[in-house]
Amino acid sequence: MSTAILSVSELTRHIKNELESLFPRVSVRGEISNCKRHNSGHIYLTLKDEGAQIPAVIWKHLAGRLAADLRDGQTVVAEGRLEVYPPSGRYQLICTSVTDAGEGALQQAFALLLQKLSKAGYFSAERKRAMPKIPKTIGIITSPTGAVIEDMGNTFHRRFPAVSLRLFPVRVQGTEAAEEICSAIRYFNNIREPDLRPDLLIVARGGGSMEDLQPFNEEIVADAIYNSHIPVISAVGHETDITIADMVADLRAGTPSIAAELAVPDRSELLRMIENLQNRQGTLLQAKLAGAELEIDSLRNSYAFNRPLLHMKQCDDLLANLERQMEQSVRTGYLQTAQRYLSARQHLSLLDYRKTLARGYALVKKEGAVVTSAQCLHLQDRTELLFHDGSVTAVVTEPVRS
């Protein structure tokens, strides 16, 4: 059986199709050599190790976004796809990302921890706490030297100088930094005195490489922020840097200065708001007073309000009439009684026995009793004769004649 004879182009095309379909995406670790940036903006280099090498290309659009300049001798992890270039009959790696080999390991650890904490609910929006509107005390966890603390201090002084700042100095990079950051968070949370306990914590540092920011991607720091009873703002690196601490924190700030902006209100805005509230309160009070005055005037002029006064006046008039009637009644009664008294006295005077005696009659008494019949007298009875002007004693000397 004879073998088909292929042209160079045909063979190269078969190789290209097979190779590119087998390796649509690969990650390669190697040392950079022959690194050159072309005038077009593309970067051409070779990745090698002790046993082999492969040419690689970084196109202009990616080259402009690289975090750092690439250099010969640097060990990197390049991701991309294999491509066969027929004119030169060679294959090359078309890079879609290039990171320092150390950063590649950190990226992998970052991704694994991100997945773990996400499943545990560390990034859940429901558990994140609201920031205090006007914090009295803020705990700051950062390096005591450098531009970060100075920039934050200037921002706090400009926006809200009344806030009390408490700094817990820590290292923000290196192997011991993560534990110091955790200790600072625990320290502030364990304060029991209300005047000393912060209302808010800010964990901050300036920008840097992924390795520099590694303490803020440690699980122990994530746990400390997650378990903090005090709300936490994370302000690590520049706005483009995202750390695990940023995602766990209750609020993420792009820079430490932005964290200070977010932590406190602007005193000028507060003063304007207070002035507006005072003006509004004054306007509302004046409106209430005016409304109350109108309501009072309406009540004073209303029939319901004036009716008691009219009723009282009617009662006063009725009472005066009753007094006059009572006085007239008493006077009339008195005069009638006096008249009856005089009439009775006159009648009584007519019945007075002394007036009868004055007309020549005498009253006979026997043993103190009035004698009304001659039959009551016997011989030798001793009697008393009463006249209108005196009395005498008499003795019956003759028998009574009928």
Axis crossing angle, helix 303-350 with helix 267-301, rounded to the nearest 10: 40
Q: Are 145 and 250 part of one and the same domain? A: yes
d(CA 314, CA 325): 16
Residue 44 has pLDDT above 70, yes or no: yes
Name the domain boundary from 220, 249, 265: 265
Q: Are 72 and 160 part of one and the same domain? A: no
Total domains present in the chain: 3
Residues with Cβ within 8 Å of residue 235, at least 6 apart in sequence? 202, 203, 204, 205, 252, 253, 254, 255, 256, 258, 259
Q: Are 101 and 157 part of one and the same domain? A: no
Q: Is residue 279 part of a domain?
A: no
305 band by pLDDT with thresholds 50, 70 and 90: low
Q: Are 23 and 60 part of one and the same domain? A: yes
* The pLDDT of residue 402: 67
Residue 5 has pLDDT above 60, yes or no: yes
Q: Is residue 115 part of a domain?
A: no
Q: Are 147 and 251 part of one and the same domain? A: yes
Residue 42 sits in a domain whose CATH number is 2.40.50.140
- Worst-scoring range by mean pLDDT, 104-113, 170-179, 239-248, 321-330? 104-113
* The pLDDT of residue 134: 92
Q: Are 189 and 240 part of one and the same domain? A: yes
Residue 245 has pLDDT above 90, yes or no: yes
Q: Which of 50, 49, 70 is nearest to 58 (CA)?
A: 70
User: Using one digit for the tens of pLDDT, what is the confidence trace for 199-241?
Assistant: 999 999 988 877 788 899 999 999 999 999 999 999 998 877 7
d(CA 9, CA 150): 65
Residue 299 has pLDDT above 80, yes or no: no
d(CA 210, CA 219): 15
Domain that holds residue 140: 120-127+134-265
Q: Are 159 and 261 part of one and the same domain? A: yes
Q: Is residue 112 part of a domain?
A: no
Q: Is residue 400 part of a domain?
A: no
Stretch 6-25: mean pLDDT: 88
d(CA 222, CA 123): 10
Instruction: Kindly state the percentage of the chain with pLDDT values over 70.
Output: 96
Q: Are 50 and 173 part of one and the same domain? A: no
Cα torsion 366, 369, 370, 373: sign: negative
Q: Is residue 308 part of a domain?
A: no
User: Using one digit for the tens of pLDDT, what is the confidence trace for 337-350?
Assistant: 888 888 888 777 77
* The pLDDT of residue 234: 95
Q: Are 245 and 144 part of one and the same domain? A: yes
Q: Is residue 187 part of a domain?
A: yes
d(CA 131, CA 230): 10
Residue type, 345: R
User: Using one digit for the tens of pLDDT, what is the confidence trace for 145-194?
Assistant: 888 999 999 999 999 999 999 999 999 998 899 999 999 999 999 999 98
d(CA 74, CA 48): 11
Q: Are 166 and 60 part of one and the same domain? A: no
Q: Is residue 385 part of a domain?
A: yes
End-to-end CA distance of the chain: 211
Q: Are 138 and 258 part of one and the same domain? A: yes
Q: What is the DSSP letter of 65?
A: T
Q: Is residue 327 part of a domain?
A: no
Residue type, 244: I
Q: Which of 16, 147, 29 is nearest to 90 (CA)?
A: 16
Q: Are 70 and 13 part of one and the same domain? A: yes
pTM (2 decimals)? 0.52
Residue type, 376: C
